[in-house]
Amino acid sequence: MEISVDLTLSPLQDDYEKHVINFIKALRNSPFKVLENPLSTQIFGDYDALMPFLNTEIKRSFQDVDISVLTMKVVKTNRSDYEPHF
């Protein structure tokens, strides 16, 4: 089953930027398709492969900071090729 995941990582500390960059770099170095915009990062792939990968990377990012918030939306379809029709 293909999924699309929208992620926003918000480390609650002064040096948040480097933690966000490290998280995005880990996503980029994966075999999955990754799209970025100024507000969030999207990653697309097979559920059974993508979710364990995200579990590992989210845990790794959480271990590097004292407090962090991760907002995640999961859609049951691969929307990586979406283009607006208006």
Report pLDDT for 41.
98
For residues 40 and 54, the answer to whether their CB atoms sit within 8 Å is no
pLDDT in tens, 1-60: 999 999 999 999 999 999 999 999 999 999 999 999 999 999 999 999 999 999 999 999
As a whole number of angstroms, the distance between CA 21 and CA 26 comes to 9
CA-CA-CA-CA torsion sign (65, 17, 39, 56): negative
Provide CB contacts within 8 A for 58, sequence distance 6+. Answer: 70
**pTM, 2 dp:** 0.93
For 68, phi then psi, to 5°, come to: -150, 145
What local confidence, expressed as pLDDT, does residue 13 receive? 94
